[in-house]
Amino acid sequence: MRTIVFSVLMFCAFQTFAQTYTVQTVPNTKLINNSYVSDPDNLLKPETVDAINRELKSLEDSTTAQVAVVMLKSIGSADNVEFAQELFDTWKIGRSSNDNGLLILYVEDQRTIRFHTGDGMEAVLPDARCKQIQRDYMVPRFKDGDVDAGMLDGVQRTAAIVLDPQHSEDVIGASEPQEADYAGFAIFFSAVYGILFLITFLVKWTSHKFRDSKERARYSYPKQSLTKRVWLITYGLIPALIVFAYSFMDDDSFAMALAFFSLYFYFIGTLAWRLVRVQGVINELLSKQKYFEVADIIKGSQVYWFFIGLIFPIPFFIYFFIHLYRKRFYRNYPRNCNACGEAMRKLGEREDDSYLSESAQMEEKLKAGDYDVWLCSGCGATEMWFYKNSWSKYEECPKCRTLAMYTKSTRTLRSATYSSSGEGERTKLCKFCQHTAVSTYSIPRLEMSTSSSSSSSSSSGGSWGGGSSSGGGASSSW
């Protein structure tokens, strides 16, 4: 980037010495710094250039019409009309669909001002009107030697005419249908989805989450996961086929809409299928009266369904609340005593304290988790279930096994530098047994900031819109 800016600066500097311009040597400032004014010889004051740029920027924003202002000391013996036409063709000013471009060319040594209009501008700025603007607003000031006032007045007058609502259709043209491009959609979708697909596949593969994985992760329920082959077909092949299938349609925007809805409903289908598989596992556990496991499965997928609810609000935003309800429902699901078969009752938070160890009470107090105590009405047996709070900062104490250990303090032993990593010391304390554990950790080496430190004044270039001209316009000399 810096090289480009540098060469552009060199180019401009060089141009100030070579005062005769050809079409190829006029700096195309629209591409360089998105300026509508190309004034390599500084014939205008910077504030005039700024004012013209503001005017023309707001003109393009509201009408899409593009006006280029080119101020040159000399074009040698070249004819200003031919020069303007050639420059217009080279830069392609104005939108290609309706050629709403205008080139205003000022040549100092020829003492001429030329308005060169794109085909779509001729209705708004017929040659006579161009001539009138030049005669009334520009030439008198040029004669007085006030180039700045003449250019600014002329540009403002021109912009006012183009902005006139009664010309809007001429300038903007019949509203252009959005150019739908199915290939672009397919490439964009494939890129975004492909990355997500690859990441998900690698994560599942390395953590053995596929049903046919040889080392399945523990505590998972095989029936709710898919084999690697079925997963690849479901999330890879079929979406790809859907996107591919619509590429044969003639109407791109219709194909895009259909592909979008097909994919949307297809993925909703895959999610519904997942719910069905999970429900199968839940039903199996329910038949074995494993209510804790059921609540645990539902709790484990809570974050997953939250995000699905955000991506597919219809219908999964609503499902998320059902999910939360189901978690509570199965946690409190009526159950019978393993020993005598009588109904059990879940004790309230105060009531269950007498059945909990001090360590468990501490865990509840620290909100590291929640104990449910169920009491049998027949034989007085109790069952206890622990629901860990996954957001808790407490971890298990290696000494007393209570979830009561937290990081009390950290301090830096040796700061990291650009050449070496540092070292820190972490002190953990168990709130239950007061056990203290001190460990060291390393602080990564500092890295040089990679963000570019180029000057803040750098600006990105724009572009002309691809418009063409058949040579309409007017010139004035003085």
How many CA atoms are closer than 13 Å to the CA of 147, on its beta-carbon side? Answer: 21
Residue 375 near Zn ion by CB under 5 A: no
Cα–Cα distance list, 150 to 3, 321, 401 (Å): 37, 68, 86
Q: Which of 65, 432, 474, 475 contacts Zn ion by CB under 5 A?
A: 432
The CB-of-408 to Zn ion minimum distance in angstroms stands at: 13
Candidates 21-29, 129-137, 221-229, 371-379; binding stretch for Zn ion (CB under 5 A): 371-379
Residue 160 near Zn ion by CB under 5 A: no
Q: Counting beta carbons within 10 angstroms of the beta carbon of residue 312, is it exposed (0 to 12), middle (13 to 18) or buried (19 or more)?
A: middle
The CB-of-424 to Zn ion minimum distance in angstroms stands at: 23
Residue 381 near Zn ion by CB under 5 A: yes
Query: Site for Zn ion (CB under 5 A): how many residues?
Result: 15
The Cα 127–Cα 115 span in angstroms is 8
User: Which of 258/375 has CB closer to Zn ion?
Assistant: 375
The CB-of-388 to Zn ion minimum distance in angstroms stands at: 17
Residue 362 near Zn ion by CB under 5 A: no
Candidates 25-33, 68-76, 249-257, 392-400; binding stretch for Zn ion (CB under 5 A): 392-400
Contact 117, 81 (CB under 8 A): no
Candidates 140-148, 176-184, 286-294, 341-349; binding stretch for Zn ion (CB under 5 A): 341-349
The Cα 268–Cα 311 span in angstroms is 10
Cα–Cα distance list, 35 to 39, 74, 114, 160, 455 (Å): 10, 21, 19, 20, 18
Q: Which of 123, 242, 400, 446 contacts Zn ion by CB under 5 A?
A: 400
Neighbours of 71 (CB within 10 A): 23
Residue 10 near Zn ion by CB under 5 A: no
The CB-of-427 to Zn ion minimum distance in angstroms stands at: 14
Cα–Cα distance list, 218 to 52, 77, 215, 293, 298 (Å): 70, 85, 9, 14, 17
DSSP-derived secondary structure letter, 348: P
Q: Residue ranges of the alpha helices (H) in 207-301?
A: 228-232, 238-245, 252-287, 291-300
Residue 430 near Zn ion by CB under 5 A: yes
Q: Which of 337, 347, 362, 366 contacts Zn ion by CB under 5 A?
A: 337
User: Which of 16/427 has CB closer to Zn ion?
Assistant: 427
Residue 376 near Zn ion by CB under 5 A: yes
Candidates 22-30, 269-277, 373-381, 449-457; binding stretch for Zn ion (CB under 5 A): 373-381
Amino acid of residue 358: E
H or E stretch covering 14:
helix 2-17
- Between residue 433 and residue 472, which ones bind Zn ion under the rule CB under 5 A? 433, 435
Neighbours of 263 (CB within 10 A): 17
User: Which of 228/399 has CB closer to Zn ion?
Assistant: 399
The CB-of-335 to Zn ion minimum distance in angstroms stands at: 11
Candidates 236-244, 280-288, 335-343, 459-467; binding stretch for Zn ion (CB under 5 A): 335-343
The CB-of-436 to Zn ion minimum distance in angstroms stands at: 10
Q: How far apart are the first and last CA of the chain?
A: 43
Q: How far is CA 123 from the centre of its chain?
A: 41
Q: Which of 303, 310, 379, 413 contacts Zn ion by CB under 5 A?
A: 379
The CB-of-384 to Zn ion minimum distance in angstroms stands at: 14
Q: What phi and psi values does residue 156 have, to the nearest 5 degrees?
A: -65, -40
Candidates 121-129, 163-171, 253-261, 393-401; binding stretch for Zn ion (CB under 5 A): 393-401
Candidates 19-27, 119-127, 407-415, 430-438; binding stretch for Zn ion (CB under 5 A): 430-438
Handedness of CA 71, 77, 81, 85 (dihedral sign): negative
H or E stretch covering 54:
helix 46-63
Candidates 19-27, 148-156, 162-170, 368-376; binding stretch for Zn ion (CB under 5 A): 368-376
Residue 339 near Zn ion by CB under 5 A: yes
Residue 397 near Zn ion by CB under 5 A: yes
The CB-of-376 to Zn ion minimum distance in angstroms stands at: 3
User: Which of 315/398 has CB closer to Zn ion?
Assistant: 398
How many angstroms separate the most distant Cα atoms in the chain? Answer: 114
Contact 291, 333 (CB under 8 A): yes
The CB-of-323 to Zn ion minimum distance in angstroms stands at: 32
DSSP-derived secondary structure letter, 176: P
User: Which of 347/430 has CB closer to Zn ion?
Assistant: 430
The Cα 103–Cα 150 span in angstroms is 16
The CB-of-190 to Zn ion minimum distance in angstroms stands at: 53
Sequence-distant (6+) residues with CB within 8 A of 421 are 442, 443, 444, 445
Residue 378 near Zn ion by CB under 5 A: yes
Question: Tokens 């040159």 map to which residue?
Answer: 72
Candidates 46-54, 93-101, 185-193, 376-384; binding stretch for Zn ion (CB under 5 A): 376-384
Contact 203, 211 (CB under 8 A): no
Closest CA to 220 of 269, 268, 278: 278
**Interface contacts to Zn ion, rule CB under 5 A:** 337, 339-340, 342, 376, 378-379, 381, 397, 399-400, 430, 432-433, 435
